[in-house]
C-alpha cells in the first residue's frame, strides 16, 4: 500500500501527541538551559545569583521525560544549589525549598502525563483502526489499474472526513468512486461509511455504473428518511475500467453525479473530460433519471485524475482558486504516487493551508495497445 509523502510527514508531526518520543530538541531543553546558566554564571565571578532560572529545569524535563528522570533532574538542581562551589546558591537558602517544591510538582506532572500518554495511545489506536476500516489505504494496483491517492481530512488529527474514495475489482473489471458528502470533517463520517458500504456491495452485483449510482442514491435516501432532520446528499464520479475483449482497445467509462469533472493527462497535455453531470446522490433521481455515460479510449501513458472540490477550490491570499488543470502538465513525468505528492506540495505553496476535505485520485491503466487513435474528446455514449 502506498501513502503519499505528505501523509507520512503529517503522521510524523503528530507522533509526539500520540505518545511517541518527543522531538530531540525538546529532550535537550533541560540540559541546554543548565549549560547556558552555568556559562552566564562563570564570567560573573559568582557576583549574581542565577538560582531562580534553575527552577525551570524540572518542568522542562517533565515535558519529555518520565517521572524518574524528572526527579533526577530535580535532585541534580537541588544539589547544585546546596554545593557552595557552584555559585548558584547557598546552603539553607530559601531557593532550595522553592526549587524542591517545583521538582516535586514536576515529577507528579510527569507521572500523570505518562499515564495520560498511555491512555491516549490506546484511544488513538482504536480510533485509527475504526477509521481505516471505513477508508482503508489505497492499494498500488487493482486489477489492470495502477492507482494512488491524496486524501486530507479538514479536521486536523482525523483520518476520515467528508470526502470518500474506493477502488474495487468487479466481475467485469475495475470500478472506482470519488465523492464528497454534504458538510465536512467528523460530522460527515457516518454518511461516508454508509456510501462506501453501499458501493462495495454494488460493484459486485450491479451490471453497470448507472446501477451503482442508483444504489448509492438509495442509500442516502433511506438514511434521510430514518432521520427527519437530515438533509443528506453527495456528489460523486464513478469510473469503470472494463476488462477489454481480445482485439479491443481498453476504455474507461465515467458518470458524474454533480461532481467536478475528471481530467485526462496525455502526452503532457490536460483535457477536462466533459462527463454529463447528473443529479447529486440523495435526491432519489438516480434510478428515475440515470446520469449519462462518457466512454474514453485509453492509450499507453494516460493518467486519469479525479479530484474533489477541496483541490480545485483551494484559494490563495488573493482569493484565486487553485488551477489544477494548468499545473498538471509540469508533473507529467511522475508516476501516480509521485504525482499526488507533487500536487499536494503545489497546493500548499499556492494556498498556504487547506481548510476543506481534499481528495485526488490518480489512475494509470496498464495499456499495451499502441494503435489506439481516438482523441480524448469522444462522443457521449447513450
Indicate whether 189 and 124 sit together in one domain. Answer: no
Domain coverage including residue 351: 136-381
User: Of 129, 150, 167, which one is at a domain's C-terminal end?
Assistant: 129
Indicate whether 54 and 144 sit together in one domain. Answer: no
The per-residue pLDDT for 373 is: 45
User: Of 76, 98, 129, which one is at a domain's C-terminal end?
Assistant: 129
**Bridge partners of residue 255, in order along the sequence:** 238
Indicate whether 190 and 289 sit together in one domain. Answer: yes
User: Of 109, 129, 149, which one is at a domain's C-terminal end?
Assistant: 129
- With beta carbons less than 8 A apart as the criterion, state whether 290 and 214 touch: yes
Give the distance, in angstroms, between the CA of residue 92 and the centroid of all CA atoms in the same chain: 56
What would the grid cell of residue 104 be?
A: 516535586
Q: Which of 185, 242, 181, 243 is nearest to 216 (CA)?
A: 181
The per-residue pLDDT for 186 is: 60
Indicate whether 111 and 159 sit together in one domain. Answer: no
Successive 10-residue mean pLDDT values, the chain, 382 residues: 43 46 75 79 57 81 87 85 65 68 90 84 71 79 92 73 89 93 70 90 93 92 72 88 85 94 94 92 83 92 92 90 94 91 93 85 80 44 38
3-state helix, strand and coil shares in percent for the chain, rounded to the nearest 5: 45, 20, 35
Indicate whether 92 and 156 sit together in one domain. Answer: no
Indicate whether 116 and 196 sit together in one domain. Answer: no
Indicate whether 52 and 108 sit together in one domain. Answer: yes
**Is the torsion defined by CA of 235, 169, 377, 151 positive or negative?**
positive
- Taking residue 247's Cβ as centre, other Cβ atoms within 10 Å add up to 6
Indicate whether 196 and 338 sit together in one domain. Answer: yes
Indicate whether 155 and 104 sit together in one domain. Answer: no
Give the domain CATH number at 363. 3.60.40.10
Question: 91: phi > 0 → left, psi -120 to 50 → alpha, else beta; which?
Answer: beta
- CA 347 to CA 343: how far, in whole Å? 6
pTM check: above 0.95: no
What would the grid cell of residue 252 be?
A: 474507461
The per-residue pLDDT for 92 is: 52
Indicate whether 189 and 324 sit together in one domain. Answer: yes
Indicate whether 104 and 144 sit together in one domain. Answer: no
The tally of domains found in the chain comes to 2
- Taking residue 228's Cβ as centre, other Cβ atoms within 10 Å add up to 7
CA distances to 216, 306, 371, 372, 382 from 248, rounded to whole Å, are 31, 25, 10, 9, 20
Indicate whether 108 and 161 sit together in one domain. Answer: no
Amino acid at each position: 500500500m502506498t501513502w503519499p509523502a505528505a501523509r507520512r510527514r503529517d503522521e510524523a508531526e503528530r507522533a509526539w501527541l500520540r505518545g511517541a518520543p518527543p522531538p530531540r530538541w525538546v529532550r535537550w531543553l533541560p540540559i541546554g538551559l543548565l549549560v547556558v546558566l552555568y556559562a552566564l554564571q562563570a564570567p560573573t565571578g559568582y557576583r549574581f545569583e542565577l538560582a531562580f532560572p534553575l527552577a525551570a529545569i524540572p518542568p522542562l524535563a517533565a515535558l519529555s521525560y518520565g517521572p524518574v528522570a524528572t526527579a533526577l533532574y530535580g535532585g541534580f538542581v537541588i544539589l547544585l544549589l546546596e554545593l557552595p562551589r557552584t555559585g548558584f546558591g547557598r546552603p539553607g537558602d530559601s531557593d532550595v525549598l522553592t526549587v524542591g517544591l517545583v521538582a516535586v510538582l514536576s515529577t507528579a506532572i510527569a507521572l500523570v502525563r505518562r499515564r495520560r500518554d498511555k491512555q491516549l495511545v490506546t484511544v488513538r489506536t482504536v480510533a485509527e483502526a475504526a477509521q481505516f476500516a471505513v477508508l482503508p489505504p489505497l492499494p498500488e494496483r487493482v486489477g489492470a489499474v495502477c492507482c494512488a491517492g491524496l486524501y486530507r481530512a479538514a479536521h486536523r488529527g482525523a483520518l476520515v472526513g467528508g470526502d470518500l474514495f474506493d477502488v474495487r475489482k468487479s466481475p467485469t473489471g475495475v470500478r472506482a468512486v470519488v465523492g464528497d458528502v454534504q458538510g465536512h470533517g467528523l460530522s460527515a463520517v457516518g454518511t461516508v461509511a454508509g456510501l462506501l458500504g453501499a458501493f462495495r456491495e454494488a460493484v459486485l452485483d450491479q451490471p453497470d455504473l448507472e446501477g451503482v449510482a442508483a444504489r448509492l442514491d438509495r442509500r442516502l435516501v433511506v438514511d434521510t428518511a430514518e432521520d427527519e432532520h437530515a438533509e443528506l446528499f453527495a456528489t460523486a464520479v464513478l469510473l469503470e475500467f472494463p476488462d477489454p475483449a481480445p482485439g479491443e482497445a481498453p476504455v474507461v467509462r465515467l458518470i458524474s453525479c454533480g461532481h467536478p469533472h475528471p481530467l485526462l493527462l496525455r502526452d503532457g497535455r490536460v483535457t477536462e473530460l466533459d462527463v454529463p453531470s447528473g443529479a447529486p446522490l440523495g435526491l432519489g433521481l438516480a434510478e428515475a433519471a440515470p446520469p449519462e455515460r462518457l466512454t474514453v479510449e485509453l492509450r499507453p501513458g494516460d493518467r486519469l485524475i479525479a479530484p474533489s472540490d477541496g483541490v480545485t477550490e483551494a484559494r490563495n491570499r488573493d482569493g484565486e482558486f487553485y488551477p489544477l488543470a494548468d499545473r498538471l502538465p509540469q508533473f507529467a513525468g511522475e508516476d501516480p504516487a509521485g504525482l499526488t505528492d507533487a500536487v499536494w506540495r503545489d497546493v500548499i505553496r499556492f494556498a498556504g493551508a487547506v481548510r476543506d476535505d481534499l481528495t485526488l485520485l490518480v489512475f494509470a491503466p496498464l495499456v499495451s495497445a499502441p494503435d489506439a487513435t481516438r482523441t480524448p474528446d469522444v462522443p457521449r455514449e447513450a
